[in-house]
Amino acid sequence: MALVLMAFAMPVFAQGRFSLSVHAGPNGNFSVRRINEATGQQIGDFSKKNFIGLVFETEAKFALNERSWLLGGYMRSKNSREINYSQNASGVNVIIEDFTISSKENKFYVGFEREISRKIRGLNALVGAFYSTYEDESIQVGLRDVNVYERNVHNAGFNDLGAFVGLHYERKIDTHFKFGIQSRVYFNITAVYFEQVTLTPTLTYTFSKKK
């Protein structure tokens, strides 16, 4: 099977139609601020995370022509919050010191990218769809107990479908490499809300055309 895949892939590499890229930078995650922290009998509920986090992406592109590409990739995002807390709960001292909780997301996506201006070469628009799974940590301090949770796709069914749009500007820096900047907005279709926005530098390697 591997030999068959290589046989199909080699002509694509040789024609210079295939490229790989990495993206890394900040994100603004709306989902980690939508969480309702409990009140009432709860002495302390720590579920929300910081809006600003980090993302890392790896992506493969296939050129349909000089101005259009199909793409597919994986994105990992992380938004965290440091907790410092001290309280007496029913005669028991509860102390949480320099403890970090995080919300992590794994996105698998496919999309289409196209250059949108002949005057501004390298300015591209993109649109696509994604499937996400989540790992979300929280701490709840009650009157009689302390609960530390990680909810994920396995124990809580944390997975969603969505769509994204974006802009990508890149310039060639040598025969193989392009450097750029990209912004995307992600919309969660399953839960119906804007999930996050990203702003990432991009570095792309295009395989050589056959001499």
The pLDDT value recorded for residue 3 is 36
The pLDDT value recorded for residue 42 is 57
Question: Strand runs (DSSP E) across 116-143, as ranges?
Answer: 123-141
Of the pLDDT bands very low, low, confident and very high (cuts 50, 70, 90), residue 4 is very low
Q: What is the mean pLDDT of the chain?
A: 88
Of the pLDDT bands very low, low, confident and very high (cuts 50, 70, 90), residue 13 is very low
The pLDDT value recorded for residue 1 is 44
**Rounded distance, CA 182 to CA 26, Å?**
11
Mean pLDDT over residues 128-157, rounded?
91
pTM of the shown model = 0.86
Nearest to 114 by CA among 70, 164, 60: 70
Q: With contact defined as beta carbons under 8 Å apart, do 135 and 101 qualify? A: no
Characterize the bridge pairing of strands 146-152 and 123-141.
Answer: antiparallel
Characterize the bridge pairing of strands 52-63 and 44-46.
Answer: unpaired
Terminal alpha carbon distance of the chain: 28
